[in-house]
Amino acid sequence: MTTNTRLIELEDRLRKLDDACDYPAKERFLQWYGPELRDLRDTDATENPTQYKTFCCTHCGSTNVGRDAFAHWNPILGDDELLTVYDDTTCLDCDRECSTYERTLSVRELEALQK
């Protein structure tokens, strides 16, 4: 099994757990396969370099993380204007406050985001 095939297999299994919203099973999956998945993603990103970075939840590895921010209404723009982004981060998948680690998006992930 090639690195690429294994990465696709693990990503598919992770996506199915996400689709089923089975977060306990996802957490168990990431405890077991997380280090291998991280290595495969790093290898994939190295073999398919992009300039795009993402941030991942340290609990579950998800890139679906959000940061606290402060915005106010700008009457000239007629819209809310982002003033500050704070350090506090929340994972929207495992629903916990988290730290993040940075990694490069693979070409496959980038293509999925652009759909």
The CA distance from 113 to 107, in Å, is 10
The footprint of Zn ion on this chain (CB under 5 A) covers a number of residues equal to: 7
Among 7, 56, 60, 105, binds Zn ion (CB under 5 A): 60
Contact with Zn ion (CB under 5 A): which of 59, 63, 103, 108?
59
CB of 59 to Zn ion, least distance (A): 4
Distance of CA 62 to the CA centre of its chain: 4
Euclidean distance between the first and final Cα of the chain, in Å?
A: 28
Query: What is the four-CA torsion angle of 101, 31, 34, 18, rounded to 10 degrees?
Result: -90
Footprint (CB under 5 A) of Zn ion, residues 85-114: 91, 93-94
- Minimal distance in Å, beta carbon 81 to Zn ion? 29
SS3 content of the chain, % helix, strand, coil (to 5): 45, 30, 25
Question: Residue 44 or 93: which CB sits closer to Zn ion?
Answer: 93
Quote the least distance from Cβ 80 to Zn ion, whole Å: 26
62 contacts Zn ion (rule: CB under 5 A): yes
Residue 57 in the binding site for Zn ion (CB under 5 A): yes
Task: Please check whether residue 52 is in contact with residue 104, taking contact to mean a CB–CB distance below 8 angstroms.
Answer: yes
Q: Which stretches of the chain bind Zn ion, using CB under 5 A?
A: 57, 59-60, 62, 91, 93-94
